[in-house]
Amino acid sequence: MAALSECRLAGKLTRNIAKALPSTQSAIASRSLSRKYAPIGNCTAKTVQAVCRRGLSTAPRLSSQLRCYHSQFHPPLPTHEYTNSQTAILSAALKHIPDHGFTNRALMLGARDMGFLDVSIQLFPRQEMDLILFWLASRRGLLRSKVENGLFEGKEQLGVDGKVKALILERLKMNNEIIHRWQDALALMSFPSNIPLSLSELHSLSSDILYLAGDASIDASWYTKRLSLSTLYASSEVIMTRDSSPDYSYTEGFVERRFEDNGALGDKVGGVKSYLGFMAGTAVGLGRSWGLKI
């Protein structure tokens, strides 16, 4: 019995050592213990070493984690592609935006118009943001249709810069009927979870405008032009939300001046800060109106 208890004691010691020490040190300790306790009755040196190996196999180890430094490992942005039913509801909801804004109420009315139940708005996980994204994507499609249907026919003398300016103004005109609702939309777009999709849509718009204008840059200016155009358009859109002049002539003049000051598509990015600052300020104001202590 004494030999058996000592054998068990040796097993406990080796397991504790295996958990507490690195593998090399625990191996040395197990060999010294095997010399000390073997042979003890039926507990031989091989038994002690086997117990030690079992202790090593059950000892906790640090799990290696894949560190995704490279962009191909980053998770993609959430898509905003829609099924036929979702597209039908969103398309019908667009006409309710001037009266109800980018809200669940507009989505619900769109669902009713298409013969769906009110609970059908649960098809949209992002709710109001889905309506905003659909509005932005549909306006980009409408802009492409205008160019394909002859927007620039007989205006070949405009050049790339002239066409870009014309497309910016054409896109801004599409906001005329909902501009009184656009500040609320900007507030929703400025929420942290919505910023990636909002910036993605802004980049898509600038890329579409440059492509439709005939820009064929393949050097570093491909990036700077899109950044500058995104800045210019975003700034113009913010100005338009505050413009009370007839036919938004002040906004049109602002676009004209920006093209003159920046030499068409310059690489100044100060407007990005003002745009993001406006979105952040609007979000704070909206939160305070909801009773949040911000």
Q: What is the pLDDT of residues 240-268, one digit of tens each?
A: 999 999 989 999 999 988 887 765 444 44
Any idea which fold 127-267 has? Tetracycline Repressor; domain 2 (1.10.357)
Question: Residue 265 has what DSSP assignment?
Answer: S
Structure tokens of 172? 């801004």
Report residue 93's pLDDT band, with 50, 70 and 90 as the boundaries. very high
Contact 185, 127 (CB under 8 A): no
Residues 229-238 have pLDDT tens digits of 999 999 999 9
CA angle 88, 240, 257 (to 5 degrees): 130
The count of C-alpha atoms lying within 13 angstroms of the C-alpha of 224, restricted to the half-sphere facing its C-beta, is 11
pLDDT tens per residue, range 154-175: 877 888 888 999 999 999 999 9
Alpha-carbon distance of 277 to 203, in angstroms, equals 18
Instruction: Give the highest mean pLDDT range of 24-28, 72-76, 174-178, 273-277.
Output: 174-178
Query: Measuring CA to CA, how many Å separate 140 from each of 123, 193, 278?
Result: 24, 23, 23
Cβ atoms of 231 and 207 within 8 Å: the answer is no
Mapped onto helix, strand or coil, the DSSP state of residue 119 is helix
Amino acid identity, position 231: T
Strand partners, 40: 43
Average pLDDT over residues 204-227: 88
pLDDT bucket at 275, cuts 50 / 70 / 90: low
Lookup: tokens for 192: 């942290």
The whole-number pLDDT of residue 153 equals 85
**What's the whole-number mean pLDDT along residues 119-135?**
92
Look at residue 83 and give its three-state secondary structure.
coil
Query: Residue ranges per domain, the chain?
Result: 127-267
The reported pLDDT for the residue numbered 284 is 62
Q: Return the CA Rg of the chain.
A: 33
**Closest among 168, 175, 173, 174 to 209, alpha carbons compared:** 168
Euclidean distance between CA atoms 169 and 236, whole angstroms: 9
Whether the model clears a pTM of 0.85, i.e. scores above it, the answer is no
More confident: 175 or 223: 175
Cα(239)–Cα(245) distance, rounded to whole angstroms? 11
Q: What is the mean pLDDT of the chain?
A: 75
Q: Can you tell me the distance from the alpha carbon of 165 to that of 149, in angstroms, rounded to the nearest whole number?
A: 18
% the chain with pLDDT above 70: 62
Is residue 51 within 8 Å of residue 14, measured between CB atoms?
yes
Return the bridge partners of 43, or none. 40
- The DSSP 8-state label assigned to residue 48 in this structure reads H
pLDDT, position 36: 44
CA pair distance 41, 32, nearest whole angstrom: 18
| Eight-state DSSP code of residue 59 | S
Inter-residue contact 171 to 229 (CB < 8 Å): no
Distances (CA, A) of 258 to 141, 153, 201, 227, 251: 25, 25, 22, 14, 11
Q: pLDDT value at position 286? A: 62
Helix, strand and coil content of the chain, in percent to the nearest 5, comes to 70, 0, 25
* Residue pair 160/214 in contact by the 8 Å Cβ criterion: yes
Report pLDDT for 267. Answer: 44
H or E, element range at 109:
helix 104-113
pLDDT value for 272: 52
